Amino acid sequence: MNLKQRQIDVFNAVMVNKSITAAAARLGSSQPTLSREIREIEQLIGFDLFLRFGKRLTPTAQAILLHEVVLRSFVGLDEINRAAAAIRTNNAANFRIASIPAYAESIIPRAIQHFLGTQPAVHFSIHSHEEPSLRHEMTMQVFDLGLAETLFGHEGATTETILIGDMVCVLPHDHPLVGRKTLAPLDFGGQPFIFFGQNDPYRHKLDDVFAAAGVTRNYAAETTTAASVCAMVAAGVGMSVINPLTAASYGGHSVTFRPLTVSVPYLLSIWRPTHSTRSVQAGLFISALRHVAKDMAEGLKRALNQAQPKP
């Protein structure tokens, strides 16, 4: 059994894009062709890669394990083409940032606005990925900056962190616990809880907090982004604990935020290529991130204080 380069390309594209239709568009192919190729790959390797629910695909545990290996070792034609494009567009002052969705939807837009106040000639290109894919993208070194939740060492890169603040509780606006000024881990006992995915580093930190308190939360749902957690909370699915950046920028009015009595510090991790033609701009953008992070943390603190229930 030997997978061909095309088959690895197809598998990687479906995993990264999370749908056969999007993967087909990325590869310049068709949905029926990729569906057939995925079935052929499954027959070749001897196990299912995806669970099929109508038109929706969910990766199996075996597919996730295989994709981890692919991300560590695979350099395909698509990556080479994007690296060449990044090099070609350097002269156009194109500053490329790889980021997890939570930052692309919260701090990055504000940091860009702050940055452009003094550097209006710079053009930004933001590429949003979940963290496993993001690590692979950053090691390709076609980005000027990478923003993730966890630091990881890589030759030819430097890393640093920004302490944003503590994670905060989010619950439906009409939940009985809204009357509390703060929420303790014990308050979550028996409550429907929206979990982050198993690969999320803060999922494990929160699990440790509740385990230490002897608290069992009722599993309501699991998702990969803080924005989708808020959407589920707003719909009444359950309650959760999320990062302060998403809490500070969330525009919905059907949720309430409360401080958690146990401190769970949230860090923004920055990955930066050691040798880059954009090192000056990278330094300036990191300064913008720090400035905006401080503003957002202070704004969230004020909002939490103002939202406290009256005695």
Where is pLDDT greater, at 259 or 151? Answer: 259
Which pLDDT belongs to residue 214?
97
How many Å apart are CA 268 and CA 178, to the nearest integer?
28
What predicted TM-score, i.e. pTM, was given to this entire model? 0.69
Residue 58 has pLDDT above 70, yes or no: yes
Residue 136 has pLDDT above 90, yes or no: no
Average pLDDT of the residues in 113-128: 89
Residues of the chain with CATH 1.10.10.10: 5-73
Mean of all residue pLDDT scores within the chain: 86
How many Å apart are CA 291 and CA 157, to the nearest integer?
23
Which pLDDT belongs to residue 165?
95
A 10 A CB-CB count for 145 gives 23
What backbone torsions phi and psi does residue 101 show, to the nearest 5 degrees? -55, -35
Which pLDDT belongs to residue 92?
47
Which pLDDT belongs to residue 198?
87
DSSP for 37-102 reads HHHHHHHHHTS-SEEEETTEEEE-HHHHHHHHHHHHH---HHHHHHHHHHHHGGGGTEEEEEE-HH
What backbone torsions phi and psi does residue 254 show, to the nearest 5 degrees? -105, 10
| Residues composing the chain | 311
Q: Report which listed range, 15-19, 135-139, 197-201, 220-224, is most confident.
A: 220-224
Residue 88 has pLDDT above 60, yes or no: no
Residues of the chain with CATH 3.40.190.10: 77-147+271-295, 165-266+302-306
Residue 144 has pLDDT above 60, yes or no: yes
| Beta-bridge partners for 97 | 126, 145
Q: Report which listed range, 26-30, 189-193, 251-255, is most confident.
A: 189-193
CA distance between the termini of the chain = 69
Superfamily (CATH H level) for 77-147+271-295: Periplasmic binding protein-like II (3.40.190.10)
Match domain 165-266+302-306 to its CATH number in 3.40.640.10, 3.40.190.10, 3.30.360.10, 1.10.10.10: 3.40.190.10
How many Å apart are CA 279 and CA 284, to the nearest integer?
9
Residue 86 has pLDDT above 60, yes or no: no
Q: Where are the alpha helices (DSSP H) in the chain?
A: 5-17, 20-27, 31-45, 61-73, 77-88, 101-104, 107-116, 131-139, 201-212, 226-234, 244-249, 279-306
Task: With CA atoms as reference, report the closest residue to 290 among 264, 270, 265, 275.
Answer: 270
Q: Does domain 5-73 have CATH number 3.90.45.10?
A: no
Which pLDDT belongs to residue 91?
46
Which pLDDT belongs to residue 139?
67
DSSP-assigned letter for residue 263: -
Where is pLDDT greater, at 254 or 212? Answer: 212
Which pLDDT belongs to residue 78?
56
